[in-house]
């Protein structure tokens, strides 16, 4: 990463961290154990990739940064809830996340379940309590968009497909379908919600942003699969190699390492192409896409 992008990303990460710190219930607020678990699961960890995409899209759309901060926080809360639930014994049964014990290990399974539930509802509370769009109708559409991205036709549905595919050999289109929902839906929502915090962009321009986000979402998963097969647990901050151990279909298992890398590069190129008409105003989106695809952990 160049210093300019690093400084911008660090500033955005600090902004979202401060906002989440302030908006999450205090750990001494009843019920204390639940609120401690919520803060444990959200604060002080992760690269905040989805908020970075929201901030970058917001800059492109000349949106109020205060509005973008709210939607970025909502998306990050949904992401954090999904990680807490994905790590549960009834799902992926993992003991390590972001370099520390998973929520159900640190607390207990019931608290982890309630933590995910509470983070999800807090996300929608944020979107509903303050003006985040120029028109009330647009704000309702944004809330609907995050709900669809999170539910059975988005992230949760993708996870259900993932659980059902263990031990099966999927075709490449089937794998893509799964990850468009499981990983891609929330990434697309992060971009689109950030952009819709203003009325600056036309519908055709929003469609191009959505195509960019679709490419980035798929590329994110391809890189994730590569890292799972090649990186160490210490580097990743979560258990490495679990996909192979659990016999899960991945881009690496279907394509092999070299072809998976080529696919990531193609998706990176397509993402950049989708932003051509925006010129320099899309710089941050291009940089975040490159950061996602070239990341080492």
- 4-47 pLDDT, tens digit per residue, is 999 999 999 999 999 999 999 999 999 999 999 999 999 988 89
- Show the tokens assigned to 122: 């807090």
Which residues, in sequence order, are bridge partners of residue 100?
97
Positive or negative, the CA dihedral 15, 184, 102, 88 is positive
- 232-250 pLDDT, tens digit per residue, is 665 566 565 566 666 788 9
Q: Classify the phi-psi angles of 46: left when phi > 0, otherwise alpha if psi is within -120 to 50, otherwise beta.
A: left
Q: Chain-wide mean pLDDT for the chain? A: 93
Report pLDDT for 255.
93
Q: Give 186's pLDDT tier (boundaries 50, 70, 90).
A: very high
Minimum mean pLDDT among 79-83, 171-175, 293-297: which range?
Answer: 293-297
Question: Three-class SS of residue 100?
Answer: strand
- Counting residues of the chain whose pLDDT is more than 90, the rounded percentage is 85
Q: What does the pLDDT average to over 290-297? A: 82
d(CA 80, CA 74): 10
Report pLDDT for 231.
66
d(CA 247, CA 115): 29
d(CA 88, CA 83): 9
d(CA 251, CA 132): 37
Q: What does the pLDDT average to over 164-191? A: 93
Helix residue spans in 199-256 (DSSP H): 203-230, 233-236, 242-245, 251-255
d(CA 33, CA 84): 15
Is 147 buried (19+), middle (13-18) or exposed (0-12) by CB count in 10 A? Answer: middle
Contact present, 141 and 197 (Cβ < 8 Å): no
Host H or E run for residue 9: helix 3-23
**For the domain with range 3-294, which CATH number is right: 1.10.1740.10, 3.30.43.10, 1.10.600.10, 1.10.1040.10?**
1.10.600.10
Q: Where are the beta strands (DSSP E) in the chain?
A: 96-97, 100-101
d(CA 229, CA 209): 30
DSSP class of 181:
I
Extents of the domains making up the chain: 3-294
Report pLDDT for 111.
98
Report pLDDT for 3.
77
Q: How many other C-beta atoms are found inside a 10 Å radius of the C-beta of residue 160?
A: 14
Question: Three-class SS of residue 96?
Answer: strand
Cα 153 to Cα 25, 32, 35, 51, distances in angstroms: 30, 34, 29, 22
Whether the bond into 118 is cis, omega within 30 of 0: no
d(CA 205, CA 198): 13
d(CA 27, CA 18): 16
């Amino acid at each position: 990463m160049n210093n300019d992008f690093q400084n911008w990303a660090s500033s955005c990460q600090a902004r979202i961290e401060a906002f989440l710190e302030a908006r999450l219930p205090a750990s001494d607020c009843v019920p204390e154990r639940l609120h401690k678990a919520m803060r444990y699961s959200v604060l002080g960890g992760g690269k905040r990739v989805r908020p970075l995409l929201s901030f970058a899209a917001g800059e492109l759309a000349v949106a109020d940064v205060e509005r973008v901060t709210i939607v970025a926080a909502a998306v990050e809360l949904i992401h954090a809830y999904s990680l807490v639930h994905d790590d549960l014994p009834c799902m992926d049964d993992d003991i390590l996340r972001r370099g520390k014990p998973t929520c159900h290990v640190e607390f207990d399974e019931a608290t982890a379940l309630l933590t995910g539930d509470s983070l999800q509802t807090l996300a929608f509370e944020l979107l509903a309590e303050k003006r985040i769009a120029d028109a009330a109708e647009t704000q309702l559409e944004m809330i609907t968009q995050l709900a669809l991205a999170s539910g059975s036709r988005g992230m949760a549905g993708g996870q259900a497909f993932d659980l059902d595919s263990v031990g099966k050999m999927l075709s490449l289109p089937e794998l893509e379908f799964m990850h468009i929902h499981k990983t891609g839906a929330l990434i697309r929502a992060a971009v689109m919600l950030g952009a819709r915090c203003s009325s600056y962009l036309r519908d055709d321009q929003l469609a191009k942003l959505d195509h960019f986000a679709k490419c980035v979402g798929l590329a994110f998963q391809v890189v994730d699969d590569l890292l799972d097969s090649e990186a160490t647990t210490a580097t990743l901050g979560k258990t490495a190699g679990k996909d192979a151990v659990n016999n899960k279909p991945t881009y690496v298992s279907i394509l092999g390492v070299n072809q998976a890398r080529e696919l990531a590069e193609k998706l990176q190129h397509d993402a950049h192409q989708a932003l051509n008409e925006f010129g320099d105003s899309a710089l941050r989106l291009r940089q975040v896409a490159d950061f996602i695809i070239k990341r080492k952990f």
